[in-house]
Amino acid sequence: MSARTATHTEHHAPSYYAASASRQTDYPTLLGAAQVDVCIVGGGFSGLNTAIELAERGYSVAVLEAHKMGWGASGRNGGQLIRGVGHDVDQFAKHIGADGVLALKHMGIEAVDIVRQRVAKFAIDCDLTWGYCDLANKRRDVEGFFEDLQALQALGYPHALRLLDKSQMREVVGSDQYLGGLIDMGSGHLHPLNLALGEAAAAHSLGVQLFEHSAVTRIDYGSQVAVHTAQGCVRANTLVLACNAYMNQLNPKLGGQVLPAGSYIIATEPLTEAQAARLIPQNMALCDQRVALDYYRLSADRRLLFGGACNYSGRDPKDITAYMRPKMLKVFPELASTRIDFAWGGMIGIGANRLPQIGRLPEHANVYFAQAYSGHGVNATHLAGKLLAEAIHGQSNGFDLFAKVPHMTFPGGPALRSPLLAMGMLWHRLLDIV
């Protein structure tokens, strides 16, 4: 049974991505009652990809989004599609064993392939471009790249890898800031909002009911869940919570395990072909290794998109351009007179152990969740969608591995959580200086 619907005209949060979006969505607001097999809360990469995977398996699905499809981090992030899930996954061997850790590493490669295949299958125009380079700030970073190279080769990584020393860095970046790099041609970059909007269209074409401006106000748990909005209700056998940093108080337990952290991006005016070739000669995505990292790339129209400065204080800077421009100029001083056309930010979800949280609520076996991608969201969300759908359909060994890893609740409650973590992250930033 389908619900009655109403339309809404509010747009995405202002950004370069919103200004260059290939399409505008106009999915209805939920009015009245709907009955489906699975209700998904959150219209970002996690929710949309779970919906696609479930619809392809024959399930009826409804997605409830408080704003527009792709409104949150999915439509505002740096657009870097990088291999891997989690940080230092070897630490989880005590929970999932050595074989489980190996499986996580393989899934970190699979996650990128899921994006590759989804873009190809649904012909999504999102400027997908291959090529990425890790940038070394310190000698220990260079040593770490050598270890990464060996580990990827041992996994049978199918894409080209290459170590760079300091004398070779101008091949990939027009800056003298870095001591070395690791090129990975199996990772790359894309227009994230166009990817999200393309996936929303794909889900819709498969029969998924998509509802925008339909914020969830209450959930009644039970053998069948009732998910309430201001003007409607979806009843379903299974619920998926895919809100990440925007969980708020919808489920306080899950919300307490994710710290919303601000991340910010500026976009220059379009550069000349010569400028673009000097700054990023091979049109790769690039990212350094600091806690307060820089990440940057070129857009399809040759703008430099420069991001980073993860802010754990819970307060956005008053002027994002003034905050980010000096960081960009430290790397690329030749852009001193270049105009900044766009500046925006948003919240990413950070977990205490930096492993994506994929599982189900122990007290409600029909309620699943995925969140806390900690900066690897473009690929890890797509993996999460696949694993959630497999688990709902019957069984998923990958889902079971993620679900075995415990996740701590950040101390201090909503009021103190961000300040406490900000103090902890300051310590790690000081270690970057050493």
pLDDT in tens, 145-189: 999 999 999 999 999 999 999 999 999 999 999 999 999 999 999
Whether 3 shows a pLDDT value over 70: the answer reads no
**Distance between CA atoms of 47 and 150, rounded to whole angstroms?**
35
100-109, 316-325, 420-429: least confident range? 420-429
DSSP state of 92: G
**For 343-402, what is the HEC assignment?**
EEEEEEEECCCCCCEEEEECCEEEEEEEECCCCCHHHHHHHHHHHHHHHHHCCCHHHHHH
Query: Any idea which residue has 């009644």 for tokens?
Result: 220
Checking if the pLDDT of 433 tops 50, the result is no
Assign 200 a pLDDT band (cuts: 50, 70, 90).
very high
Q: Is 428 in a helix, a strand, or coil?
A: helix
Residue 413 and residue 304 in contact, taking contact as beta carbons nearer than 8 Å: no
SS3 state at 223:
coil
How far is the C-alpha of 27 from the C-alpha of 5, rounded, in Å? 9
Cβ atoms 1, 35 nearer than 8 A: yes
Question: Under a CB-based contact definition with an 8 Å cutoff, are residues 36 and 62 in contact?
Answer: yes
Give the confidence band of 98 by pLDDT, cuts at 50, 70, 90. very high
State yes or no: pLDDT of 431 exceeds 50.
Answer: no
Q: For residue 422, name the pLDDT band (cuts at 50, 70, 90).
A: low
Question: Rounded to an integer, what distance in angstroms lies between the CA atom of residue 392 and that of residue 54?
Answer: 8
pLDDT band at 105 (very low <50, low <70, confident <90, very high): very high
Reported pTM:
0.93
Beta carbons within 8 Å of 158's beta carbon, 6+ residues apart: 186
- Please give the distance of CA 237 from its chain centroid, rounded to a whole number: 27
As a 3-state breakdown, the chain gives helix, strand, coil percent values, each rounded to 5, of: 40, 25, 35
Name the band, by pLDDT with cuts 50, 70 and 90, for residue 417. Answer: low
DSSP secondary structure letter of residue 60: -
Domains of the chain: 4-77+193-258+353-413 (3.50.50.60), 129-189+260-350 (3.30.9.10)
